[in-house]
Structures are given as structure tokens and as C-alpha cells.
Amino acid sequence: AQSVTQLDSHVSVSEGTPVLLRCNYSSSYSPSLFWYVQHPNKGLQLLLKYTSAATLVKGINGFEAEFKKSETSFHLTKPSAHMSDAAEYFCVVSLNTGNQFYFGTGTSLTVIP
Amino acid sequence: GAGVSQTPSNKVTEKGKYVELRCDPISGHTALYWYRQSLGQGPEFLIYFQGTGAADDSGLPNDRFFAVRPEGSVSTLKIQRTERGDSAVYLCASSFGQGGNIQYFGAGTRLSVL
């Protein structure tokens, strides 16, 4: 079975400070892992994807995530938060041989000026 | 268009009515997915099409929900005898192929059943 746990429902950071959004996954097979961002009234936008080519994945807007198989984690980080980063973030797991995405419950990121 | 298009963006209906939600995927994408996102939750899978056929409909909650993709492009999600619990944002995504490929999402249709 596949599942995703986002450990924090809300994260609040000051502008210019680091961001850490935590995600743990469970998968019986070798998964693909994604982070998507959802701004209010906008569609889900892909931030980055892990494909097993490299454990540290760089995405758009300065975000990156590290795949740690031993910890079954795929945490999202950014060195310095911007006001425009305020949004809902979803960690997603998908089987490489499957079809559907399994979403976490989301982490709401607030950036304080 | 360049992205996945969903219409309408908002739909308000009364309990017991029938609704149709439309999804126009990215041109050339063979796979199309429907998800439902309730307030404060992550999207949940409903159904997946590969071409014209529904390859996996295991996420449809009951037989009031049905989806079609007759020509392998545009898809329609149909809900009969709507209930207040059907209120949610319905998301459509498309991808080139399957199996862990990136899914591109539309902005969704917000359905409100009064």
C-alpha cells in the first residue's frame, strides 16, 4: 500500500528564513515522489520530482528536496522564504508502474513579513 | 490551450440535481485523471483514463458518479442525484503516458450542492 504523511498541517516562517516542510512516505515498491504547490484559486503546480537519478532534487523557485530511503522521507526545503511562497504544499507518491497519485493532507505555509 | 482547462470554474446546484463537469487536457496527453479535493484535505483519486477507456475507476465513491472520454481527449465527470456531501473541488489532470509521469492539473471546478 502507498501513503504519504505530511507531519505539519501549518508552518509559519519569517521572510528570509529557511523553510522545512516534512513528508514521510510508505510504499511497497520503488516510488516516484513529487512536491506540488497550490496557491489560492490556482491549479496545482509541480515544484519538483524524484526519479531515483539523484537523491537531492532541485525544483523551481529555489526549492529542493532530499530523498532518504532509510528514513522514508522526502522533506522540502528552501534557504530563504519569500512572501510569494505562502501557499499550500502537497507531498505526493506514485508507483512507477501505477496510475494514480497519493496525496498527503497538505501543509499550509505562512510567511511573515 | 497550453494547460488543462476545466469548466465551469464554479457550479452551484440543488440537492438531487444532475451535474456535468468538463475537462480539456493538454493536447497529446493520453492519460487523464479525476480527483476530488474536500476542504482542508489533499486531492483523492477518482478515476483514470488511458485513451478512451477507464483503466481504473476504483476511486469513484458510488454509482452516482460516472465519467467518459469518448474520443480520448475531453472528459466529462457526471454526478447524478447530487448530495450535499458531494460539495468539493473536482480536479482534472493529464499526463503523457502513466506510471509516475508528471501530472499537470487544471484549476478545478468548485461544486457546491445546496
CB contact under 8 A, A100 and B59: yes
pLDDT tens per residue across span A41-54? 788 999 999 977 78
To probe the interface with A, which of B94, B103, B109, B110 has the most A CB atoms within 10 Å?
B103
Determine the pLDDT at residue B38. Answer: 94
Q: Residues of chain B with pLDDT > 70: what percent? A: 96
Domain carrying residue A48: 3-112
Q: How far is CA B94 from the centre of its chain?
A: 10
- Report the amino acid identity of residue B80: Q
User: In CATH terms, is domain B5-99 a member of 1.10.10.10?
Assistant: no
Q: Is the pLDDT of residue B1 over 60?
A: no
Three cell numbers, residue B27: 493536447
User: What distances in angstroms separate CA A107 from CA A104, B4, B31, one per listed residue?
Assistant: 9, 24, 28
Q: How confident is the model at residue A96 (pLDDT cuts 50, 70, 90)?
A: low
The dihedral over CA atoms of B98, B99, B105, B106, expressed in degrees to the nearest 10, equals: 30
Determine the pLDDT at residue A31. Answer: 82
Determine the pLDDT at residue A97. Answer: 59
Determine the pLDDT at residue A38. Answer: 94
Q: How far apart are the first and last CA of chain A?
A: 41
CB contact under 8 A, A46 and B104: yes
Question: Strands B109-113, B10-13: parallel, antiparallel or unpaired by DSSP?
Answer: parallel
**What chain B residue is nearest to A52 in terms of C-alpha separation?**
B100
Q: Is the pLDDT of residue B5 over 70?
A: yes
How many angstroms separate the CA atoms of A101 and A61, rounded?
A: 23
Determine the pLDDT at residue B114. Answer: 96
Q: How confident is the model at residue A27 (pLDDT cuts 50, 70, 90)?
A: confident
Which residues of chain A lie closer than 8 angstroms to B48, CB-CB? 99-100
CB contact under 8 A, A103 and B33: no
Determine the pLDDT at residue A108. Answer: 97
Residue ranges of E strands in chain A: 3-6, 10-14, 19-21, 23-26, 31-38, 45-50, 56-58, 64-68, 73-78, 87-95, 102-103, 107-112
CATH of the domain at A15: 2.60.40.10
Cell 513529487 -> residue: A34
Contact A3, A26 (CB under 8 A): yes
Q: How confident is the model at residue B101 (pLDDT cuts 50, 70, 90)?
A: confident
How many angstroms separate the CA atoms of B90 and B108, rounded?
A: 5
| Phi, psi dihedral angles at A28 (to 5 degrees) | -80, -20
Three cell numbers, residue B24: 480539456
Determine the pLDDT at residue B98. Answer: 64
Check the CA dihedral B84-B25-B31-A42 and report its sign: negative
Domains in chain A, number: 1
Q: How high does pLDDT run on average in chain A?
A: 91
Q: How confident is the model at residue A30 (pLDDT cuts 50, 70, 90)?
A: confident
pLDDT tens per residue across span A63-83? 999 999 889 999 999 999 999
| Phi, psi dihedral angles at B82 (to 5 degrees) | -55, 145
